[in-house]
Structure 1
């Protein structure tokens, strides 16, 4: 599969709720995005989960950006997004809130439960009718 670009911009601070959560409770946004990667429906989602705890623990000693950088690489690999480890390192270190928002928007947009850009599709088209 050919490489793609990020669908959501790094500096896109919407939706407002995700922006606020990334600013004040970043561990919860990280945990939600990680869970969405495992289960796009979020059927068994808990706001406080292992990834939330891990990034909080690492963040408390100034190393949360490392876990964020690693997750960014995972997202890039899963969705065949262009980029590099060096780029992941830089954005995760210098703008972690922006990265959290981009990750959440990207993963939500690339799963079946929240596409970013699907456009209009009639019901007949969705049902395989012509």
Structure 2
């Protein structure tokens, strides 16, 4: 089992760099949505809500975080990333994930963004934002057509 490529406190780590840090600090739901969309359709046992869907994940995270409990949807994503990339479990298990996603959510989201980017290629924040915009447009149009 490996460690995360960058520790959670290294907010300017590549591939995201300062751009990912700034975006996540101002709009954590956007970076969270990009992370979830990059994971694709996670298997059902992963409990990744809105897997593969940027707009849905972004909105859900924003709403649930507004209620003060974003960790409910963030913990399964963090656990899935750890499982997918063979990252070792934290020493204190789910308690550590709970504290990380509740108290240091932006740091955790940036760490996850950088991990996915370094493993899957990418991490260029402006390119990822353009892709996210296109994905959101497609998702909203598809939802509108269903009605």
What TM-score do you get using the length of structure 2 for normalisation? 0.66
Whole-angstrom distance in 2 between the partners of 1:114 and 1:25:
20
Deviation at 1:23, TM superposition (A): 0.8
Contact 1:30 1:100 in 2 (8 A): yes
Runs (5+) with no aligned partner, structure 2: 42-51, 124-147
Whole-angstrom distance in 2 between the partners of 1:4 and 1:13:
20
Matched, 1:102 2:128: no
Alpha-carbon deviations, 1:3-34, whole Å to 9, x = none?
A: 21111110111111111111110000000111
Alignment RMSD (CA, Å): 2.0
Whole-angstrom distance in 2 between the partners of 1:27 and 1:33:
10
Deviation at 1:86, TM superposition (A): 2.0
Alpha-carbon deviations, 1:33-73, whole Å to 9, x = none?
A: 1111229xxxxx98x51110110110111111221122101
Whole-angstrom distance in 2 between the partners of 1:86 and 1:78:
20
Matched, 1:57 2:63: yes
Contact 1:36 1:108 in 2 (8 A): no
Corresponding residue SS for 2:117: helix
Structure 2 equivalent of residue 66 of structure 1:
72
Matched, 1:21 2:19: no
Segment drifting more, 50-59 vs 77-86: 77-86
Corresponding residue SS for 1:49: helix
Whole-angstrom distance in 2 between the partners of 1:21 and 1:65:
19
**Structure with bigger gyration radius:** 1
TM superposition outliers: structure 1 runs of 4+ over 6 Å: none
Whole-angstrom distance in 2 between the partners of 1:85 and 1:79:
18
